[in-house]
Amino acid sequence: MRKRTVTIIDNQSGKSAEFPVRRGSYGAPVIEIGDLYKELGMFTLDPGYGVTGSCRSAITYLDGEHGVLLHRGYPIEQLAEKSTFLEVAYLLIHGELPNQAEMLTWDHAIKMHGMTHEHLNRFYSGYRYDAHPMSVLTGVVGAVASFYHDEMDIYDPQERLITARRIIGKMPNLVSKIYRYQSGLPFVYPDNSRDYVENFMSMMFSWPTEPFEINPVAVRALDLLLILHADHEQNASTSTVRLAGSAESNPFACVAAGIVTLWGKSHGGANEAVIHMLEEIGVPKNIPAFVERAKDKNDPFRLMGFGHRVYKNYDPRATIIRAACHNLLDEMNLNQPLFEIAMELEQLALEDDYFIERKLYPNVDFYSGLIYQALNIPKQMFTPMFALARSAGWIAQWMEMMGDEDFRIGRPRQLYVGAEKRDYVPLAERG
């Protein structure tokens, strides 16, 4: 059968060129337009990259029309129910689920990289006591780069794997210290007798004078949140990590760049913004007024936790999180008025033509903040929690890119719409 191609015809010059169409395992086929400039002397323009693929990837697949999310082929629903965050991290990085021996080795390796250099602790005290934790996280993760600079060969697959273990191992430690510092509590070293999530909770919440009691319900809930945030294809922060990495930058610095992008409320910052919004709504009777504001084009307000660039159907992670939120609040016997408001708001929006026509559904972060709140994680720490989880995806994507035979620096083009060439006029002669 003849290979599928797309022909682009320039109706002004009359020139045309044929471009190959590539099919992946799933998803829309892509037109490979690398030779476009050579053939027709043109670039493409796609602000926001709505239809532009930036790489080949075998890590995560999502189908926004049907609400499907697969990591290395495994549906998110199955991973959420049966796996752990640490196993999902292994899957993202290695491409396959581990056997028991591999899982033990992985778990051990992550633990062995859980410490940070003692001098790094001083960075925390350089921040104001009320600095936003995402600002601190950007700084301290960037600072880790300085401890692994010249000694790391980013072209050696084994060293890339060690880097991945370091990032996944150190993130709970780095994140927990932000909370400890801001709460005026001493830093807690990792305890390698504990599992990954337990260990994080002990570093966050243990009291220096008391033994730390783990709540298994809380551990499972947090593990679930980490699984659901571990990777999500070529989103803004992941693309940032890849772009920074394409310049052969230090991978810890690349992760710091991803953290900066995640911070924005259009992306990971939405989890914190949702809680602010629910608190502002306050009582159910105020919900309709907020929905009206979200629809008003003269008002910049948007329903936080609603809408997604790719999902034009319910975000499958939101379905899982919504049920988990219900269960957690029941199991912990918590009365969470914000949860009631969230459910009513969701229902009202889903029945509203504005949201129906634009296919705006709750995304993963509509409910995640409510779970973090139930776990006593303060609002400003929500996005760092997201970063902790997403580090696994970021570093898996970085590793994939560094090993890609097509690897080269990312360098988008532009449509220049500025001034035409003109001559400089000395200041004294300008009117």
Which member of 163, 176, 182, 363 binds ligand ACO (CB under 6 A)? 363
Which member of 72, 113, 132, 308 binds ligand ACO (CB under 6 A)? 308
309 is a site residue for ligand ACO (CB under 6 A): yes
316 is a site residue for ligand ACO (CB under 6 A): no
183 is a site residue for ligand ACO (CB under 6 A): no
Tell me the DSSP string of 189-234. Answer: ---TTS-HHHHHHHHHH--TTSPPPP-HHHHHHHHHHHHHHS--SS
Q: Is 404 assigned a catalytic role?
A: no
Which member of 270, 374, 395, 396 binds ligand ACO (CB under 6 A)? 270
Question: Is the separation of the CB atoms in 61 and 27 below 8 Å?
Answer: yes
Which residue type sits at 343?
Answer: M
305 is a site residue for ligand ACO (CB under 6 A): yes
Binding residues for ligand ACO restricted to 11-70, rule: CB under 6 A: 48
268 is a site residue for ligand ACO (CB under 6 A): yes
Least Å distance between CB 75 and ligand ACO? 19
76 is a site residue for ligand ACO (CB under 6 A): no
Query: Which tokens is 14 given?
Result: 């009359």
CA 47/CA 175 separation, integer angstroms:
33
Least Å distance between CB 338 and ligand ACO? 16
Q: Pick the catalytic residue: 35, 308, 352, 404?
A: 308
Question: Is the separation of the CB atoms in 80 and 382 below 8 Å?
Answer: no
342 is a site residue for ligand ACO (CB under 6 A): no
- In sequence order, the 6+-apart residues with CB closer than 8 A to the CB of 382 are 271, 272, 275, 368, 369, 372
The residue number with the shortest CB distance to ligand ACO is 307
Q: Is 308 assigned a catalytic role?
A: yes
Q: What are the Cα distances from residue 106, in Å, to 96, 97, 222, 425?
A: 13, 11, 20, 65
Q: What does DSSP assign to residue 161?
A: H
Binding site residues, ligand ACO, CB under 6 A: 48, 266-268, 270, 294, 302-309, 358, 360, 363-365
User: What residues are labeled active site?
Assistant: 308, 365
